[in-house]
Structure 1
Amino acid sequence: MERHCPEEPPTCPGFRSPIRWPKSRDQIWYSNVSHTKLVQYKGHQNWFNVSGEHFVFPGDRTQFKHGALHYIDFIQEAHKDVAWGKRTRVDVGSGVVASFGGYLFERDVLTMSFAPKDEHEAQVQFAVERGIPAISVVMGTRLPFPSRVFDAVHCARCRVPWHIEGGKLLLELNRLLQPGGYFVWSATPVYQELPEDVKIWEAMSALTRSMCCKYFNKVKDRINRVGVAIFQKLMDNRCYDGRSTANPPLCGDCDNPDAAW
């Protein structure tokens, strides 16, 4: 069939050619992603701000008060085997600015960030405009990745209830991890002692034990006043096979771990 195209291609009013990497990590055109509501809601956390014609990303948002690179180094110091360099990571819930993934480029790490579309608009638009890999996706079903492809999963203040519904969401992350891969969790249940945080930590501890995850000590950063807990996926199924109670159960033989891909 013949296709008729307009002589003048349609354009978005005010859209400008994106700023090129690496400068785009620190600033993008305001007119390309003009979501002022998110700036108003998150501005006090210093995730990013408006400066003239640009959105500016200082790289020291709530979780990175002394810079994203300090936080990245803190994670590696917490457990030396979490080595950066020629690795792949997935960053959960970091769609607004994805600075963690943006700065991991300096450590030779490729990171995919994802976050849902919520009342603050499609947050990942900011990350994509900056040139940082990101997709908009909701935890709850199979994520669009094959199994055993990431070296580590990182979650910082992502507010995902990993411990509920039998750990369904954490099991999905476990599917993505390579054998021996790490789950790096930095959230208030790790470093605060409020009753709700303690309750969640106890539930997560029980869940990760039942999943045969190897747990390393919680470590707190005195500068940023946050902490991380690091869990490791085992290399084989011997622990699963030796459990007295198969809960959570292993997937059946007919369950293709790569079906979503």
Structure 2
Amino acid sequence: GILLKEVDRLLRPNGYFVYSAPPAYRKDKDFPVVWEKLVYLTTALCWKLIAQQVQTAIWIKEANQSCQLEHAKEKTLNLCTSKDDTSPSWQAPIKDCVNLSPRAEDINKLPPGPERLLLYSRSLETTGLHFFHV
């Protein structure tokens, strides 16, 4: 489950996670148990299953703070402390917790094309990283 929580940390709200099991798993007696655990974890992470066919499934990570807070209250999801939110994404140890998603109305829509390269991320501001144009 900790690796799926790491995927959650790296995945932007409204991003997609695709899981595809090799065909050999179809005959594996443990596959239903693995699938059940995967569904349990993605539900706890508040991801929405949007497509499933044979052994491939697609989830979307929705910005749903109320779902995350509810699952944290039920102890099915461990939320990271607020100080973890400002840690850099690179060279950081994997943690067995999930950062609270931003509220849907706080999510920046990325501009199209080359303008996106000039957009300064709010998450970079909170880590103290600054960039400049050359």
Could you tell me how far 1:237 is from its partner in structure 2? 1.1
Q: Does 1:242 align with 2:55?
A: no
Q: Does 1:232 align with 2:57?
A: no
Q: 2:30 aligns with which of 185, 196, 219?
A: 196
Task: In structure 2, list runs of 5 or more residues that go unmatched.
Answer: 91-134
Supply the distance in 2 between the matched residues of 1:205 and 1:172 (Cα, whole angstroms): 16
Supply the distance in 1 between the matched residues of 2:89 and 2:50 (Cα, whole angstroms): 31
- Identical aligned residues as a percent: 34
Supply the distance in 2 between the matched residues of 1:200 and 1:253 (Cα, whole angstroms): 31
SS at structure 2 position matched to 1:232: strand
Q: Select the structure of larger CA radius of gyration.
A: 1
Q: Does 1:254 align with 2:47?
A: no
Supply the distance in 2 between the matched residues of 1:174 and 1:256 (Cα, whole angstroms): 13
More strand by share: 1
Q: What's the C-alpha RMSD, in Å, of the aligned pairs?
A: 2.1
TM-score of the pair, normalised by structure 2 = 0.57
Supply the distance in 2 between the matched residues of 1:245 and 1:193 (Cα, whole angstroms): 35
* 8 Å Cα contact 2:18/2:58 also seen in 1: yes
More helix by share: 2
Task: In structure 1, list runs of 5 or more residues that go unmatched.
Answer: 1-166, 221-226
SS at structure 1 position matched to 2:80: coil
Matched residues, number: 88
Look up the equivalent residue of 2:65 and give its one-letter code: N
Supply the distance in 2 between the matched residues of 1:179 and 1:260 (Cα, whole angstroms): 16
Look up the equivalent residue of 1:229 and give its one-letter code: A
* 8 Å Cα contact 1:240/1:246 also seen in 2: no
